[in-house]
Amino acid sequence: METFLVCTAVVALAEVGDKTQLLAMVLAARFNKPVPIVAGILAATIANHLLAALGGFYLASFFTGRTFQIAIALSFLTMAFWILIPDKMDDADAKPATHMGAFIATSIAFFLAEIGDKTQIATVALAAQFHNIFIVAAGTTTGMMIANIPAVLLAGTVLRRIPMRYIRICATVIFVSLGLWDLFKIFHG
């Protein structure tokens, strides 16, 4: 039980203000369908964190510290500029999404956004420390849900009134800041 609680707490705290929490809010504002979005986050997190717990420490041996850090920083910068590009179906042109559309879009986006994320890396480290893949994955998944369910529920009511253009600009600023901060730490830290 202690392993589960430690994993839950570590990831719930690490997720606050994280890019995937921001993604959860953007998806909630975009689709306005909290149940399939929460289900998509759950499905993506289970898959991602099980894979991280299973193979993360094996994959980590292939990456050198500095090269891996630079790749993560560059991925933040790439994501920042990708966010600025509006979807084909955006703002005024948006058509209501089906529950399956919101679920699939959330599952794919969340799974990809979690790759190399601090919560995924935490899952790898926790699995290596506690040597219990399923308890660690269950705890880290619970932590993700504790942090993201409120984000989805709040975004559905608050962010729906803010144009997607402003949400994209804010997200871009955050991702650029993260990327530049990581590069600064790598070369000057």
DSSP string over the chain: -HHHHHHHHHHHHHHTT-HHHHHHHHHHHHH--HHHHHHHHHHHHHHHHHHHHHHHHHHHTTS-HHHHHHHHHHHHHHHHHHHHS--SS-GGG--PPPHHHHHHHHHHHHHHHHTT-HHHHHHHHHHHHH--HHHHHHHHHHHHHHHHHHHHHHHHHTGGGS-HHHHHHHHHHHHHHHHHHHHHHHHH-
Least confident of 77-86, 87-96, 105-114: 87-96
pLDDT band, very low/low/confident/very high, at 59 (cuts 50, 70, 90): low
pLDDT for residue 93 is more than 50: no
pLDDT for residue 110 is more than 50: yes
Q: How many CB atoms lie within 10 A of CB 129?
A: 12
* Residues 6-49 pLDDT 10s: 989 888 887 877 788 888 988 888 888 899 999 999 999 999 99
* Residues 45-54 pLDDT 10s: 999 999 999 8
Q: How many CB atoms lie within 10 A of CB 21?
A: 21
What is the C-alpha separation between 18 and 74, in angstroms, rounded?
A: 16
Two tokens, residue 164:
């997607």
Q: Which of 55-59, 89-93, 149-153, 157-161 has the highest mean pLDDT?
A: 149-153
Contact partners, residue 50, CB within 8 Å, separation at least 6: 133, 137
